[in-house]
Each structure stands twice: as C-alpha cells, then as structure tokens.
Structure 1
C-alpha cells in the first residue's frame, strides 16, 4: 500500500480548523493531516498594524517544526501572516502555502474584477498586496476590492454560525459587476453555500482551493 503524504496545518485560531478539516474530508479523504495550533499569534496580530520581527520568527519556527515531524507540505490557515509565510517557505525544502494563494490564483485566472469579503481587519492590506503581486506574476490584469463584514467573526467565535453565515451572505448579495467573489478567512468557508445562494457571481474559498493545489503539488492530481 502506498503511504499518503503528511500535510501540516498550522493554525493561529481554532475557528479555522473545522473548515480545512471539512475540505480535506471532501476533497482528499485518507490523506494524513496534522494540526498545529498557536493561537497567541492571532491575539498578538490583532494588536499591531504590521507584522513584527517576533511574529516572523515565530512563523518560521512553526514551519520548521512542521518539517521536522516529517511533513511533505505545510499549509498555514491564518490570512494575516503572508510576508512571514513567504520567508518561512524560502527556508524549507517542501511546499509551504499561504492560506489564500491558491484561491487568488483561481480568481485571477477568471480575470477582471474580484470582490474580497473579509472578517478579520488585520488581514486586509496584506491580502490585497498578495493578490496584486500574484496577478503581476501571472501577467493578468485583475483587480481586487475588499468589503468588511462587521460582527461575523465575533459571531463564529461565540458559536453562532448561523449569524456568521447570514451576515456574510447579506454582504455578498450587495455586490454587483464582479467576476469573482473570494472569502478571505478560512473560517468563512462555512458560509460558502449561503453566499452562493445569495449571488450569481462565482464564489471561491481558501480551504477548497488550497486542497486542490496541494493535490497537484504532491502528485495526487495532474495540473489543470
């Protein structure tokens, strides 16, 4: 029997864990995933406008630990640490994915205008820059416009998934003249079906896109 690859999932908040678990269960059942939770990162990131050198060091240490336990790939699930994850990736010999890179690539391939709904304010600026950088790398004239969904992350942290999903879907219903909608946080993936019911614009989530990309990177699927 051929062994399955081991994928380390590094979380800065527990609310991201269910969404990525569900995505793997649906799209890659049987693959070995291990969870590494360091939730002081999200607490500290919410207190500062920019990534600090200490946060970058901590992200690199987590990635290094993930590799030391035999992981064949590493996926970070918190969207507010893009620059730090890039630096960590440069030091490892296995794929290290930022939370949203696969989702952004999917949206950029559609071209035109992308709307990003987000619930964690510290993530917005870095994610917009990641999108622009990825569009430039891919040679695509794609643009991104962000929309904050107030109250949604507080609802899901309190266990009120219904309110979380309703708030996000209501914001999505207002969007017009976009070619794609992306849900910025991993924790927002639980609102995917509600958002799709509220709009005719194609909707992408980070967990689903990340699993699809990992399947290609680790040889389970051929590139599209």
Structure 2
C-alpha cells in the first residue's frame, strides 16, 4: 500500500525495520506417534515459533537390531541435524532417549542449539528423590537413561540410588499395534517397581500414556513435558524465543 503527498508517491514501509521471521524449531523423531504430541507441547511453550518435524523410525529399529548405536545410525542422525541447520532451524530437539548420548556428542560440535529430550526429567528426578526407579521397554534405552541419571546426580551433588527395570515384550506389543497390551505390561512393572523406590522415571516417551489414568503408589516422571519445559526455558534465557 502506498500514499501520495505533494505529487510524490510515498511507501509507508520505507525506513521501517523488516518484520522478524519466526524462529524455527525442528524435532527429530524415531516414533511417528510422538510427532503430534511434541507439536502441541512446543506450540504451548514457544508460541510464535515455526514447528518442523523429521521422522525416521529406522534409526531406532537399527539400534534395537544391533543392540547398540552403530556408526551408520550416528551418521544418519548427523545428516538430519545438518539438514535442519541448513533449513534455518534456530533449535533442534531429538526426542529419542535411546540416542541421547549421541545427541550430547553432536551438540558439542553443532552451532545450532541441539537438545536431548530427557535431561529435564533427569534433573527433576534427582532433585525430588533419593531412591529412583528407572522403567524402560528397551535395553538400548535403559542403559543410557541410567547413565544420564547417575551423571546428573553426581553433577548436582545428590546421593541417589537407582533401580533399573526392563519391561520385556512391551515394545514389541506397541510396534504390533497392541497399545492395550503394552500399557498393561508397563502398569504391572510400575506397580512392582514403585513399591521399592520413592519415584519412578519412564525412560521412553512412548510409555507415558500407560500411566495417565488410575491411582499411582508413587509419583512418576516422563520426558516430554519436563524436557520441553527445560528447553523452552533455556531458549528464553538465550533470548531466542522472541518473547
């Protein structure tokens, strides 16, 4: 839109700073059903940000098949991170706890802020309890989550005892489409483990739904909400949120 004064055409936008472009947050998922979950959490905590997602379930499948994070998985995740940077991301979040230690390694040499989703959960757990149960449906997630909690406890000067428990068959049930069977196994394992500890940590975001209803003997923590709370807070402190 322009206006005319004394026979001259004036552009009302001239001399004004350009409108800032929205910040872009990219999620890298290995479980497709988590994509809408995190989209909602991000929209609530970082309003005005553009949300993008990459889903590659084969990253997790490869780790499960090999029993460890292979060089191939490391390289493919690295390519996803670099592509997100090239596409203009202001921050990147990997929502797979199994890949958490890889994310830490990549974050140390990535210019764009790169986050693992489970650090906020770990910090709250060691602040809140001294005996902590760790529940997972995959051994490839149980071990890195246990190491994260142990390292977090040492860093924060907390003397904590950790009790790890693997829920056999639950993840296979989930992958086959048997959500009810998965949830039942998680609920049973939680009931047993919670009798031994003050608090239970669910190592995988995909486990959260299993305990959303019903009474619970002990409190439990999951990574999506706590992880997004922590990351959004860090982005606001870095003045990246646009708030």
TM-score normalized with structure 1 length: 0.86
2:24 is matched with which residue? 6
In structure 1, how many angstroms separate the alpha carbons of the residues matched to 2:191 and 2:42? 28
Counterpart contact for 1:80–1:122, Cα < 8 Å: yes
Residue 186 of structure 1 pairs with residue 205 of structure 2: yes
List gaps (5 residues or longer) in structure 2. Answer: 1-18
| Structure 1 stretches of 4+ moved >6 Å | none
1:164 is matched with which residue? 182
Residue 213 of structure 1 pairs with residue 242 of structure 2: no
CA shift in 2, pair 1:74/1:143, >3 Å: farther
CA shift in 2, pair 1:202/1:193, >3 Å: same
Deviation of the 1:156 alpha carbon: 2.5
Q: Report the structure number with the largest CA radius of gyration.
A: 2
In structure 1, how many angstroms separate the alpha carbons of the residues matched to 2:48 and 2:184? 32
In structure 2, how many angstroms separate the alpha carbons of the residues matched to 1:190 and 1:2? 38
CA shift in 2, pair 1:30/1:107, >3 Å: same
CA shift in 2, pair 1:201/1:28, >3 Å: farther
Deviation of the 1:18 alpha carbon: 4.1
SS of residue paired to 2:117: coil
Counterpart contact for 1:192–1:205, Cα < 8 Å: no
Residue 100 of structure 1 pairs with residue 122 of structure 2: no
CA shift in 2, pair 1:24/1:169, >3 Å: farther
TM-score normalized with structure 2 length: 0.80
Deviation of the 1:14 alpha carbon: 1.8
SS of residue paired to 2:225: helix
State the aligned residue count: 220
| Higher mean displacement: 114-123 or 2-11 | 2-11
List gaps (5 residues or longer) in structure 1. Answer: none
